A and B are shown apart, each in its own frame.
Chain A
Amino acid sequence: MQVLFARHHVRVYRFVLRLVRDETAAEDLISEVFLDVWRQAGKFEGRAAVSTWLLAIARFKALSALRRKPEQELDEETAAAIEDTADTPEVALQKKDKSEVLRQCLNGLSAEHREIIDLVYYHEKSVEEVAEIVGIPEATVKTRMFYARKKLGELLKAQGIERGWP
């Protein structure tokens, strides 16, 4: 268990943290994830990669925790993720370079869109693996990623960055 924990806990933590946006809650959740793994080790059938299995459990735990949070609190967190929206695009651009704005907009996506962006780009999950983790058909994985990227483009545009797409 220590080896498994050492190998995977940082990435599982980051995945959960991006969903719940609370470091203490994310730490509590990853200990729950690995406790479940310890309890269910015999049920692991080896059809998926270990990391895919872990992320699927982590996602379930994170979403359950989010459901327990008051809706108002979630809206406030999403709003806070995009700072300085009162600035004009020019001012925003002066303040930050394009990379910073892009990262800020990645933070400003909905939990559903953040999740798929992270799974594909950071956790390097294939279409099939994302489908397994999120529990949706593969075709939906592709379209959800498309709409997440489209939303990202819209957020960038609102911050004064026109990429020519979408």
Chain B
Amino acid sequence: MNTKINEARELPEDVELLLPWHAAGTLSRRDAARVEAALANDNELAARYELVREELGEAIRLNESLGAPSARAMEKLFAKIDAEPVRKPKASFSITAWLIEFVASFQPRTLAYGATAAALAIVLQAGILAGVFVKERTTGPQLASYTQSDSAGEGAFVLIRFKAEASLGDITRFLEENKATVVDGPAAGSGLFRLRVADQPLSQPELGAIVKRMARSPVVGFTVPAAQP
């Protein structure tokens, strides 16, 4: 009983509890506005929000460093499926309904990234096609949706997430101003892009300075230095 009372006293206001979701961009518009208002009026809360953003960045970097499973996982799965008894398709499962849900399941932010990515893809495609002519690739079929190989090569890289409201023009300008090129992304689900910001590897302070400068841009939701691929 006493423990519960102590825990309740220890807990901060609801708005502070929501900071991690605000940083991740998964709050409803109403809650996000509530948090924004609180951050604007409370310097201490704003300082704590910076800690949350720091944690968010490192949690993403940590997870992205875990790599992808080998082809064994897929081989095992499809061997098991092949060994399953043949079933009649269930009447209740509609592939159309599933596809509609599948698209609808994306959060608005993800959809916005998708739209941005689609637009970016047009620009990128020209670069990729040109790249094919000058650099023959030797990689085999890839299992992972996150294509590490695309980001391979010399240089310095950052992971970046653009704000949902950023237009293609904004992003193009941002890339030009920062002499950056998109080499990978958006990573499935996270909307993260990998940008090459220099042709040669940079020292940690140099890359940190670039990240800080980029983070100040109004089109950037989040950015961290990326490990060398």
The chain A residues found within 8 Å of chain B, CB to CB, are: 1, 5-11, 13-14, 17-18, 23, 26-28, 30-31, 34-35, 38-39, 41-42, 44, 46, 48-52, 97, 99, 102-103, 106-107, 117-118, 120-127, 129, 142-143, 145-146, 149, 152, 163-165
- The CA of A124 and the CA of B97, in the complex, are separated in Å by 24
Q: Are B143 and A126 in contact (CB under 8 A)?
A: no
CA distance A17 to B59 in the complex (A): 14
Q: Which residues of A contact B109 (CB under 8 A)?
A: 124
B93 contacts chain A at the CB level, 8 A cutoff: yes
- State whether A10 touches B25 (Cβ < 8 A): no
> Given A10-B68, A28-B76, A163–B81 Cβ distance below 8 Å?
no
Residues of B within 8 A of A142 (CB): 14, 17-18
State which residues 99-144 of B face A: CB under 8 Å. 101-102, 104-107, 109, 143-144
Residue-wise interface mask of B (54-96) relative to A, using a CB-CB cutoff of 8 A (1 in contact, 0 not): 1110111111001011101110110011001000001011000
Q: Hey, which chain B residues are within 8 Å of A48, CB to CB?
A: 105
Complex contact B26–A11 (CB within 8 A): no
Report yes or no: A50 in contact with B102, Cβ–Cβ below 8 A: yes
The docked-state distance in angstroms from the alpha carbon of A165 to that of B54 is: 13
CA distance A98 to B97 in the complex (A): 47
Choose among A18, A39, A41, A163 the residue that contacts B66 (Cβ–Cβ < 8 A): A18
Q: Say how far A53's CB is from chain B's closest CB, in angstroms.
A: 9
What residues of B have a CB within 8 angstroms of the CB of A39 in the complex?
84
A residues near B61, Cβ cutoff 8 Å: 99, 103
The answer to whether B21 and A126 touch across the interface, beta carbons within 8 angstroms, is yes
Q: A18-B66, A146-B11 are in contact. Are A5 and B189 (CB under 8 A)?
A: no
A107 engages B62 (CB within 8 Å) = yes
Report the bound CA distance from A146 to B102 in whole Å. 31
Q: Which residues of B contact A9 (CB under 8 A)?
A: 68-69, 73-74, 143-145
In angstroms, Cα B11 to Cα A78, docked, is 27
Assess whether B107 is in contact with A117, with CB atoms less than 8 Å apart.
no
* Contacting pair B59 A6 (CB below 8 A): no
> Are the CB atoms of B98 and A18 closer together than 8 Å?
no
**Docked-complex contact B145 and A145, CB < 8 angstroms:** no
- Assess whether A102 is in contact with B55, with CB atoms less than 8 Å apart: yes
A81 to B98, CA, bound (A): 40
User: Does B40 touch A at the CB level, under 8 Å?
Assistant: no
Cα–Cα, bound, A35→B73 (Å): 11
**Chain B residues within an 8 Å CB radius of A44:** 93, 98, 101
